[in-house]
Amino acid sequence: AQKVTQAQTEISVVEKEDVTLDCVYETRDTTYYLFWYKQPPSGELVFLIRRNSFDEQNEISGRYSWNFQKSTSSFNFTITASQVVDSAVYFCALSEAGRRALTFGSGTRLQVQP
């Protein structure tokens, strides 16, 4: 069975601080996909990134960066120089190859104070 753990329930930072959201996953599959989604107060889940299990390269997109480490089954997300608009709930998710069912973590609520 798959499992995604986001141990941080809520994080509060002041604008311009860097913040890292942790994600630890469990799966027996050798091929799988990892995702991060953002859920602003409006409710819609916004796709941020997808990683497959064979690609351990870290990725940077503007202020966002992701650190994928298979050795520790982690897929952490860092926001550099946080902004108030980053305030949202962030979800890490996992899917097996060939199955489009996502297993979500419980989410981390990020509050960025001005």
Partner 1 sequence: KAGVTQTPRYLIKTRGQQVTLSCSPISGHRSVSWYQQTPGQGLQFLFEYFSETQRNKGNFPGRFSGRQFSNSRSEMNVSTLELGDSALYLCASSLVGTGVETQYFGPGTRLTVL
Residues that bind partner 1 (CB under 8 A): 33, 35, 37, 42-47, 50, 91, 93, 95, 99-107
How far apart are alpha carbons 107 and 91 in whole angstroms? 5
Toward partner 1, which CB reaches closer, 41 or 114?
A: 41
Toward partner 1, which CB reaches closer, 82 or 108?
A: 108
**16 CB neighbour count, 10 Å cutoff:** 11
Toward partner 1, which CB reaches closer, 72 or 106?
A: 106
58-95 CB burial, b ≥16 within 10 A, e <16 = eeeeeebbbbbeeeebbbbbbbeebeeebbbbbbbbbb
In the complex, least distance from residue 15 CB atom to partner 1, rounded to whole angstroms: 27
